[in-house]
Amino acid sequence: MNRLLFLLFAMAVLCLGVCTRAQSDAPAKKVVFTFDPHFSDADFTALKQAAPNLNIVFPTRDRLMAEIVDADAIVGGITREQLLAAKKLKWVQVNSAGVEGVLAIPELKHSAITLTNMKIVQGVEIADHAFALLLGLTRRIDVAVANRGTATWPSLADYGPPMELSGKTAIIVGVGGIGTQIAVRAKAFGMTVIGVDPNDIPITPYLDRTVWPDRLDSVLPEADVVFISAPHTPATEKMIGAAQFSKMKRGALFIAVSRGKIYDAMALVDALKSGQVAGAGVDVTDPEPLPKGHPLWTTGRVIITPHIAGRSDGERARFHEIYLENLIRFGRGERLRHTVDKEKGY
């Protein structure tokens, strides 16, 4: 028995040596960044120690195409031209939660290339922004900002009574990383929260109930506010249109912070004109930028921000965490975080 154990131990040591030598002799995996992530010296030291077989390249614009040709991975944006040039590509990491842009490249969508994004990572700041838009409307901050330009101190009658959120009902369309964070904030304000999502959402104290998208119309009559935080996919394009606005509780508010193509902007304009929707806060529109002369600029109580919900002073640290962990995982051949289902689009 002792001899057998010794032989097994010796074989394990030999295998470990062979495997280690094979790994050290393997060519470095080349990772090309299409932007400057501003990694610190400490970041690079950690990467070198954890994934020594990575060759990370930060090419200038004029060298980008040449470096991409033999890249195993690309971090940042990618064009169809770049994709076709990258013959060895195995992984693409994008810098946003939305991936509809890169999935519009058929050679990427229908390939074995792994796509990862920033879902969940961007939920915190976008949820903050969603509530900034909502509170701007419910507390009449939009009116106060407009009056500042004329140095007018209006009466409460001019304002109309501000709305309190406690006891109101929020419908959240898309309960992923962003929608979950919106639900946390809505529940903290004392709201009843209903999620709409194609996935089965685990029981959570932040959601009172969830329904699948085919039951959206059945819950819209309960909505005091509707949040749009779903990804843009063929299934979600224009899923909020005239029929959906008409089913909302009259005087409801509408907040969109994910993608502008999920709602029909002209249908929203009509709902605002009729008073069916009392106000809207939109960080995303279709088209973008929203052109001069578009009726959303001048119809009803609408707060428009220029697609900035995903920006914050804390995003860089969270982005770096994903970059570094996925680079280490890629170097080790491990499963990557935040992998996108390219058929579903998220």
Q: Where are the domains of the chain?
A: 20-120+315-332, 123-304
**CATH topology identical between 20-120+315-332 and 123-304:** yes
Quick: pLDDT tens for 134-169: 999 999 999 889 889 899 898 887 778 899 999 999
Q: Which of 113-122, 154-163, 216-225, 323-332 has the lowest mean pLDDT?
A: 154-163
DSSP state string for 235-292: TTTT-BSHHHHHHSPTTEEEEE-S-GGGB-HHHHHHHHHHTSEEEEEES--SSSSPPT
CATH of domain 20-120+315-332: 3.40.50.720
Quick: pLDDT tens for 231-252: 999 999 999 999 999 999 999 9
Catalytic residues: 259, 288, 307
pLDDT higher than 70, residue 227: yes
Q: Which residue's entry shows tokens 């804390």?
A: 314
Mean pLDDT of the region 79-102: 95
| Pairwise pLDDT comparison (201 vs 120), residue with the higher score | 201
CATH topology for 123-304 is Rossmann fold (3.40.50)
Residue 184 pLDDT: 98
Mean pLDDT of the region 291-295: 97
| Pairwise pLDDT comparison (160 vs 171), residue with the higher score | 171
- Let me know: does 174 contact 197? Beta carbons within 8 Å: yes
Return the structure tokens found at 167.
Answer: 């006891």
For the chain, state the CA radius of gyration. Answer: 25
pLDDT higher than 80, residue 19: no
